[in-house]
Amino acid sequence: MDNRNRKRTILLFWVFVMIFCSLTAHLAYIQIHEGALLSQQALAQQTQLISLEIPPRGQILDRSMTPLTGSHEADRVIVLPWNVADRDREARLLADVLDMDVSQIMEYFTTKARMIPQDLSSVQAGELKNLSLPGIMVAKTKIRERKPGLAAHILGFLGIGETRGSWEGKMGIEAVYNSELKGAVPRAAARVFLDARGRIISGLGLRLEEKTIDNERKDVVLTIDRQIQEAVEQAMDRSGIREGAVVVMEAGTGDVMALASRPEYFLGNENPEEGYPESYLNHALLRYQPGSVFKVVVAAAALEEGLVIPEETYLCVGEKDDIVKCYRPEGHGLITFSQAVAYSCNPVFARLGLKLGAEKLIAYSEEFGLDSADIGGYQTQDKKNKLNLIGQEFNLANASLGQWPVEASVVQVAGMMNVVAGGGIYSPPRLVKMVVSDEGLVERVIQPGGKRRVVSENTANILQGMLERVTREGTGKEAWVENWGSAGKTGSAQTGNEQIDAWFSGYAPLNSPRFVVTVLVKDGESGGQTAAPLFREIMQEILRLEK
């Protein structure tokens, strides 16, 4: 063989070696990296899977990784048509046990195995097992509660998806994080084997399977504390709150530890095009006139701008005032600014607002977070912002009292009060902490928003003293918390239908604030009579939980 042929042979040899190695590497990649997926796809083509987890879905957890979503186990019926010996007889017997029409039952006696979506009582399950019908199987199934028993307005609920048998989040966290919560495979399932034409291979029967890890589903971790959420909702129900909301915020961080709205909603109309009932509204996220709790912003702005000092005196002449009437017809007489905060004297704040001016009042309102509808990891239902209307003619005096056009949500008011509790620092509210994989690995963190200084520490200290006076001797005496102390502000906002939205927002303990609690009771008597006692009850309970 001449030299040229030898080189050609060697070259061809190495070309074949490279091709062989390339093919081997590709086959190895398929086997190692895609083998499980291809195997799963092949199995899916050859079998029918009946989920024993309905639906396969991640959980919504509280800050301590305790589940907030509920589920229960129940016996359910799986119909195996290929095993049915006498369809009419078995359908009639099954209909009798389930108390269903035979025509409904017949729909399940088709070519595919199907589960009847009805939980069996222990008596029904026993009857079916005793009947030993060859085409009927009773299987233990884990069912996710469509509506949670706790924090329902935050979590939302599940409804029927676009594809048959699927479930989707329709409101709240369930809807916002639906794509991450949805699972790919159930924890438990019954597998039916099919032949090449898709027909049941009767001899192989069913195979029960269990999965421990689902790489598709994720868990969503909230800032909510389950124990505090329970305490809040129980207190609201004991107080008979028909319509309103409560928010508990961790002082200094802005993390929402409880958020509850009333009235409770019941699953009924699930068609968004037809509209959801009003009970589905989350009153903690909608904006309302805050009334006198907004005076905290006016007082902070006036102190920070050097327009007033705590002991500066005013003359309140009650209903004879030429700018705005006081709620006390006879007036407060000579009153210091500190007393005006404690007793919520309207004429004093109207004059301060006029002195401050619309531009600065709007700016401070925005600094206190009343312009932002965002909550970390979540979006509110109500994004309208009317603060710019404060500058229109005749609006400034009303706005200084927390009346129209000033509007704020319960979460925003809690964030506002948190500025005072936090020494003058605004901490943006946050509801979602992170998203974790099914194996518990953190996939993404919802970082807290950037903090900012709103007023000086000195101004915040002065405000703290004034708000303590509110609960010790002023309009908020019913909000005083024994053994810990508390501070805050009442609000009684008149709505267009001449009803009162009763507010109280405050914090405790006095020396080292731990929680900010904001209460809104719609159609109440006043902030001091209706909202303040509920604040006290909730604060006492959650402080005991911290012991």
Residue pLDDT, tens place only, 462-498? 999 999 999 999 999 999 999 999 999 999 999 877 8
pTM for the complete prediction? 0.88
Residue 73 CA from chain centroid, whole number: 25
Residue 43 confidence (pLDDT): 42
Residue pLDDT, tens place only, 67-120? 999 999 999 999 988 788 899 999 999 999 999 999 999 999 887 888 999 999
Residue 343 confidence (pLDDT): 97
Residues in Cβ contact with 532 at an 8 Å cutoff, skipping those fewer than 6 apart: 475, 476, 477, 478, 479, 488, 490, 504, 519
Whose tokens are 């924890």? That residue is 187
Cα–Cα nearest to 157, from 179, 148, 263, 261: 148
Which SS3 state, helix, strand or coil, does residue 268 take? coil
- The CATH H-level (homologous superfamily) assignment of domain 226-270+288-545 is DD-peptidase/beta-lactamase superfamily (3.40.710.10)
Residue 118 confidence (pLDDT): 94
> Interhelix angle for 35-46 vs 3-33, to 10°?
60
For 75, 88, 260, 372, 406, the CA distances from 384, given in Å and listed in that order, are: 48, 61, 22, 9, 11
The conformation of residue 389, written as its DSSP 8-state character, comes to: G
Whose tokens are 């800032």? That residue is 223
Residue 2 confidence (pLDDT): 64
Residues in Cβ contact with 326 at an 8 Å cutoff, skipping those fewer than 6 apart: 316, 317, 318, 319, 332, 345, 346, 347
Residue pLDDT, tens place only, 358-417? 999 999 999 999 998 889 999 765 667 889 999 998 899 999 999 999 999 999 999 999
Rg (CA), the chain: 32
For 270, 281, 379, the CA distances from 276, given in Å and listed in that order, are: 7, 9, 18
Counting every residue written for the chain, the total comes to: 547
Residue 385 confidence (pLDDT): 80
Domain ranges of the chain: 226-270+288-545
Is 50 exceeded by the pLDDT of residue 39?
no
What's the average model confidence in pLDDT over 179-194? 87
The conformation of residue 528, written as its DSSP 8-state character, comes to: I
For 128, 134, 317, the CA distances from 394, given in Å and listed in that order, are: 75, 81, 21
Task: Please state, in angstroms and rounded to a whole number, the distance separating the CA atoms of residues 398 and 411.
Answer: 22
Is 50 exceeded by the pLDDT of residue 234?
yes
Q: Which tokens go with 173? A: 């966290």
State the chain's mean pLDDT as an integer.
Answer: 89
